[in-house]
Amino acid sequence: MDKIEGSVLRSPADVRGFADFDGPLYYAPTGFIDRADDPQTLPLAGGRRGFSALEIIRRNEGGGAQSMILPLLALEGWVQNSGRVDEINAVLDRLTGNRRAFANQDMESTHVMGIVNVTPDSFSDGGDHNSVEQAIAHGRALAAHGASILDIGGESTRPGAAPVSIDEEIARVVPVIQALSADGHCVSVDTRHGAVMKAAMQAGAHIINDVTALAGDEESLEFVSQSDDAPVILMHMQGEPGTMQDNPQYDCVLLDVYDYLLDRIESCEQAGISRDRICVDPGIGFGKSLSHNLELLSRLALFHGLGCPVLLGASRKSFIGKIDPAATPKQRLGGSLTAALNGWRQGAQILRVHDVEETVQALSVASAIGAV
């Protein structure tokens, strides 16, 4: 069992049950609104959206978890009864604190990261931009449509993907990075290999985006720790791309992914990579079933408790196809936009997408409606 049994508080016993719990608790903001200085809300990660309640989650013995939802107006009394004053203050500091600019991008609002796959075998656009010239043109088009960041990848990490050689990956991404960074665009490199990271940064990349959270190559953590303040995105993946969808299992996917990312952040800090250089990504579709992905999407705001910007990459993913089996990857725009807006609603600072123009428009409309 890995789902969270959530409920609204129904009795004083519900409150006491969580107050008396002596294990670790997890805190997911909920009750989201456009803040407009509403005194009954707190700012989410220093941004323009706010939250009015906390879902407090605890693990169950034997797997799974349960939760209660506590309005902020009732939080002070519960904190006093639980004896977790210092813990809650630290949690609220992380949940509400301003995020430092990430690669010179202001983290008070949501940014769209455009995907540029220089690969023949990516799951939805493999071969579409396989030449250097095509990839550069595509990156420029995405930037013109509103992408704040361009994410360049030379190795497919779709389920069942075969690895490519380091030299081939470098040959694919470096010319594209050189051209797009020379244009003045903010460029990230999507790679799990230290040698590719080094070549990409030398070519002008600003961000390292690693699906293995700097754990897949012993050179990667050392390289990033020795680089000059290079920002890094740490993603959760269970297993390897070739096998990650072979019956993935968790005790509680939400809390397991949270604990993994916290462990990777702490490992980075021990290596000299400060937390304000780190962005986290729960890794939708990377070693997760449909129910795992939906659980992560429904409580994405939990990850703000790590004190880092949050990236959501759900664009065209297979979980959409499992809900709508008739839709090919390129026919999953509706599901992709829904997931993106859900991420925006929960304060995600970066949305990694294929369909930049449509996502930017959806965010603009949602923001305009919320501002009324």
Please check the confidence at residue 2 and state whether its pLDDT lies above 80.
no
Q: What are the residue numbers of the active site?
A: 317, 352
Q: Look up residue 103 and give its amino acid.
A: A
Q: Give percent above pLDDT 70 in the chain.
A: 91
Helix (H), strand (E) counts: the chain: 12, 13
Q: What is the per-residue pLDDT for 335?
A: 97
Please check the confidence at residue 36 and state whether its pLDDT lies above 70.
no
* pTM of the predicted structure, to 2 decimals: 0.93
Contact 150, 143 (CB under 8 A): yes
Cα gap 57→272, rounded to integer Å = 31
H or E stretch including 265?
Answer: helix 253-270
Contact 183, 267 (CB under 8 A): no
Tokens 């990459």 belong to 313
Please check the confidence at residue 11 and state whether its pLDDT lies above 50.
no
Please check the confidence at residue 177 and state whether its pLDDT lies above 80.
yes
Please check the confidence at residue 47 and state whether its pLDDT lies above 70.
yes
Tokens 């902020």 belong to 72
Among 67, 106, 23, smallest CA distance to 298 is for: 67
In the chain, the DSSP E strands lie at 4-8, 25-34, 42-43, 49-59, 65-71, 111-117, 149-153, 186-190, 207-210, 232-235, 278-281, 311-312, 350-353
Q: Look up residue 54 and give its amino acid.
A: L
Q: What is the per-residue pLDDT for 104?
A: 94
Contact 319, 285 (CB under 8 A): yes
Q: What is the per-residue pLDDT for 15?
A: 61
The encoded tokens of residue 127 equal: 């071969």
Q: Pick the more confident residue, 244 or 362.
A: 362
Cα gap 105→216, rounded to integer Å = 27
pLDDT in tens, 230-269: 999 999 999 777 777 877 899 999 999 999 999 999 999 9
pLDDT in tens, 119-164: 875 555 555 667 899 999 999 999 999 999 999 999 987 776 677 8
Contact 63, 1 (CB under 8 A): yes
Q: What is the per-residue pLDDT for 6?
A: 52
Q: What is the per-residue pLDDT for 16?
A: 64
